[in-house]
Structure 1
Amino acid sequence: MTLPDLMCRYAERFAALGRGEHHVASPLGAWLVLALAAPAASGELADEIADALGADVDAAHRAAVELLAHPHPAVSAAAAAWVREGLPGLNAWLSTLPAEVETGPIPTQGQADSWAREHTLGLIDRFPVDTSDLAVLLVSALATRVTWLTRFDTADAADLRGPWSSTLHRVLRASRLPGHDAYITETERAGRVAVHRALADGLVVTSVIAEATAAPGDVLAAAHDVAVARAQHGADAVSVSLFDLPLGDHALWTITEEEGVNPGEHVDALLPAWHANSAHDLTAEPKLGFVAAGHALQQLARLKGPIDAKQTALARYGRRGFEAAAVTHVAMATSARRAEPSGLHRTATLRFGHPYAVVATAHGTEPDDPWEGLPVFSAWISKPEDAQE
């Protein structure tokens, strides 16, 4: 199983924390922390962590090390492991961490806040946990800020139809714009869906909308599958020809046909701008592996007490670009297409007019780049915003 496939699997478990509400997350940020913590575990705890990671702990640890050792130009990635003095039981585990992971004593709150700002491009201003009583703190930070290759046009929100058209004034429109791609595809989890991809230098943000009756977890899973499949196989492997679909209105799109000098097809998309801020308790879903990771670190440090594992994430999607950041920590305290008929041209307009899923994936910059096609951030969008001119 490739690393993007592992991330799709982990993202499906992570989606349970969203409970179908408007949110943003970085399953990758959590997976990195878990993979770095994994060598601390043995026995049943190691088995639980391996099940969460989707790979044996050694292989997952190597993958995390490789990502940190090969920085991506569009994704800032950092990690740190800080421990209180007097915990020699952690030394063997600390020795497994690569040089790219910052190590040292527990930072002051001000130092931790500065670390968060530095490694999230200033998007997260304060470290999400009080460090004053901590004995062990393992953390990752991921961030991106990109500009679309071509910015969106805008359109009247009435064109979106559906419930959001009455609450918004302007929406984003992509019609024959370089760096934008839209299509319709079949998915195993959410049936037939509409897809829009916005391209930036080094990052692709994929939006996927299914029928309103589809479960959010299924749509998020389908969005991850679509994003990874597109990165691996290209458009022809996943898109459905408009000539295989009926003309007229559908809940998610409208298809028209006309005689023209340029036979073929093209797909436009209408979708809202949005932003999200989220906080996720990673111990609320044991299958994410953070309860087991916390217990493993506690055993080595000979500590007792509650395990704190959370992720703070935010993202903004608009006419000009996309930005997102996430800080994830685990801590403990002391104590195939058909040929198109000639002469006809079909046009589809996809409408992202009710809640939908978003996945941001990285583009590799060199052969065998470990970041290629890797999902970095995901979101469930149910609170749209007006597009700004």
Structure 2
Amino acid sequence: MVDHGYVRTRAAAAHQVTIGLLAAFLVLPAFAQSAPPPASSPEVQTVADGWSALKQGNLGLAGKIAERAIAEYPRSAAAAVLAVEVDIVRGGTLAGLAPYERWLGDRPVDDPYVLRRVAHAHLRRVAADRQHPARLEAATALAAEGEADVQADLSAAAAKGGLIETEMLASIGDPRAVQNLVAALRTPAGSKVRTIKALGDSGSAIAVRPLLELLNDVREEHRAAAAEALGRLGAAEAIPSLKPLLNDPVFPVRVAAASALYRLQDYGGVNLLEELMASEHGAVRLGAVEALSVRPTGSWLGVVRDLTRHEDATVQLGAARLIAPYEPEVARAVLERLGASENPAVREEAARTFVRQLAADFSSLRRFLRNPDALTSVRAAARILELTR
């Protein structure tokens, strides 16, 4: 059944700009502006007729017009967008990939403008589905793009006590969400590790003072999480408070303090981190090289390279993520191997890591849009939006 409300919503905005349809290229990133030639009046009118049919819910006519427009103007991105929108309405958001790829043909370079429409529609649909496992990830990506309705939806859920929505908003620097998380730290009961991590991801100076207070918390996991969060925030004012934790009776707290200090360009704990790089345990070595990754030491790359061959797939994944900026082909080989693992959890994490660390070309991202893992598909769409912002 055709969702006519959805059709009208998607088609209305495009219908309003039919005469100047290709003017949208003027606001695209520079790399996306060079491909399309100036549109002719017949081309604009044909595409406008297609949008009009789509707005009226006449999918059959809109599809025929899109096919005719592509046949007459095979390089027209505007015609391709129309075809993409028709198939999105017919078969769901990712159905728009098929007409896009037919239009692209054997051309070696993707069209970011058209592909962005598919990725954006995918994120909108996922964000609107309350039962989708990647809904909040999609909503956060759209909110980061400045889409006010999505941000308002997250804010409304956060105002009703939704902790996950509050954390998502804080991760993109929403001041009210950060303040709400700070208030949550004041509550006496329960673990606050997730809240502390979200504050560390916020990039907000508001979070520094309450995190400093947690360095003296009775719970060791809070002390360690607060130290790590302050390091990620780049809070140099925390250095005097972090140094005493190098003598904390709990080993993970000492490591967290050393890692945070190293991020803040204080080398008081670097000896501990370098000692851990020689540990017999792969997971410990991985934690040490991750802490040192902000400014790798001389032996760092060799240790990470060795960890990509570790027997533990989790260690391999972490090492692939770290080595990707330096030796992308090594990381690619590891992730492709793990992507064929018999363990579905390993396969999914390998795909997610690939999207996050290595997928900077649109051809790879198109492939990951079709990935059966919901989070991988959403992250691929979010990455496309980021690259075409």
TM range (shorter): under 0.3
User: Of the two, which has the highest radius of gyration?
Assistant: 2
Relative to its length, the structure with more strand (as a share) is 1
Bigger relative contact order (CA 8 A; separation at least 6): 1
Relative to its length, the structure with more helix (as a share) is 2
What's the TM-score, normalizing by structure 2?
0.24
